[in-house]
Amino acid sequence: MVRARDLGVKLSGSAILDGLNLAVPSGKITALLGANGAGKTTLIRAIATLQPVSAGALTVAGYDVQKQSHKARGVLGLAGQHTALVNELTGIENLRLVARLAGVSRRGLQSAVNRVVGDFGLRDFVRGRVGTYSGGQRRRLDLAATLVSRPALLLLDEPTTGLDPRSRRELWHYVQALPGSDTSVVLTTQNLEEAQALADWVAVIDRGRIIKTGTPDELRRELNITTLAVMTRRELSRDAVLSVGSSLGATVTLHDGARFSLAGRFQVQSAVDAIGGQGITSHEITEFALAPPSLEEALLATNPKESI
């Protein structure tokens, strides 16, 4: 659906994307992971034909974003970090406006609007003015408006920023259903829980380049990492937790009072010995769990500077 080869983008003379290579599969949800400034939003803007490309090649559904920008825009929808809605209009009026701007015919307008109203559960509030909506309602309407023209590719730039946990999970539910309606999705996020919940495919971007790709499970498995979660009856010092991690050659991914987690390559007995070496007795341990890593723990383990 999207292919970038040696892609370069400059802003104010500085390279934001530099030699980036990426192939986004069709019919899947792809998550772009990376810290602030890694180049996620710049890449989304380049795919959406909103950011000029300075080097390399970039295509969307086979269309060159520089030479065939009009055709590329015709197959994609974009929902940015902030909703693009008119507060003075009702939800229905916003949907009709966006549909017409996207080229939906007058004959197909009502059915297109009715479809997204039903798909995104908007009926209870869609006739009210957008200025009265909650953050979650605005996000759902914004996503519905983006999809009213049935784009082949939906770009979501940190779609759940600022949403409460309930609204975030509701939005996840709607996004998860999109590949079934023939819409491929590319989303950016710093929320690794979100990527693990939504993505079929993950690309990690750092300093303008893709440094790792694969499914969430593949990224976890290829690292051959074990995670250990421990809960004790008393609070542990930072030094004690770091000492346990150091003796195991593991990364501390969490330390919160009496609870800590490690990610690394170690055996059960080694973990028991390391914990005992800090004077923590077995009767003080209320939780001791070994498991495969979450996506976050896997990435932290390969980038120790990002740990605690």
**CATH code of the domain containing 184:** 3.40.50.300
What domain range is 171 assigned to? 2-215
CA atoms of 136 and 164, how far apart (whole Å): 8
Model pLDDT, residue 224: 65
- Residues 44 and 131 reside in one and the same domain: yes
The Cα 39–Cα 174 span in angstroms is 26
Per-residue model confidence as pLDDT tens digits over 78-130 = 988 777 899 999 999 999 999 999 889 999 999 999 999 998 899 999 999 99
Whether 232 and 131 share a structural domain: no
CA distances from 182 to 127, 161, 262 (A): 28, 25, 40
Q: Are residues 33 and 55 in the same domain?
A: yes
Cα–Cα distance for residue pair 142/159, rounded to 1 Å? 10
Same domain, 63 and 153: yes
**What pLDDT is recorded for position 298?**
63
Q: Express each pLDDT in 47-64 by its tens digit.
A: 999 999 999 999 999 999
Q: How many domains does the chain fold into? A: 2
Domain limit, last residue, from 169, 199, 215 = 215
* Residue after which a domain boundary falls, among 176, 193, 215: 215
User: Is a pLDDT exceeding 70 seen at residue 143?
Assistant: yes
State how far the Cα of 132 lies from the Cα of 129, in Å rounded to an integer: 6
> 275 and 133, same structural domain?
no
CATH code, domain carrying 234: 3.30.70.920
What are the residues whose beta carbons fall under 8 Å from the beta carbon of 156, sequence distance 6 or more? 79, 143, 175, 185, 186, 187, 188
Q: Which of 215, 238, 254 is the last residue of a domain?
A: 215
The pTM of the full predicted model, rounded to 2 decimals, is 0.75
CA gap 66, 154 in Å, rounded: 19
Q: What distance in Å separates the CA atoms of residue 188 and residue 41, rounded to the nearest whole number?
A: 7
C-alpha–C-alpha distance, residues 61 and 53, integer Å: 17
Residues 29 and 177: their CA atoms lie apart, in Å, by 10
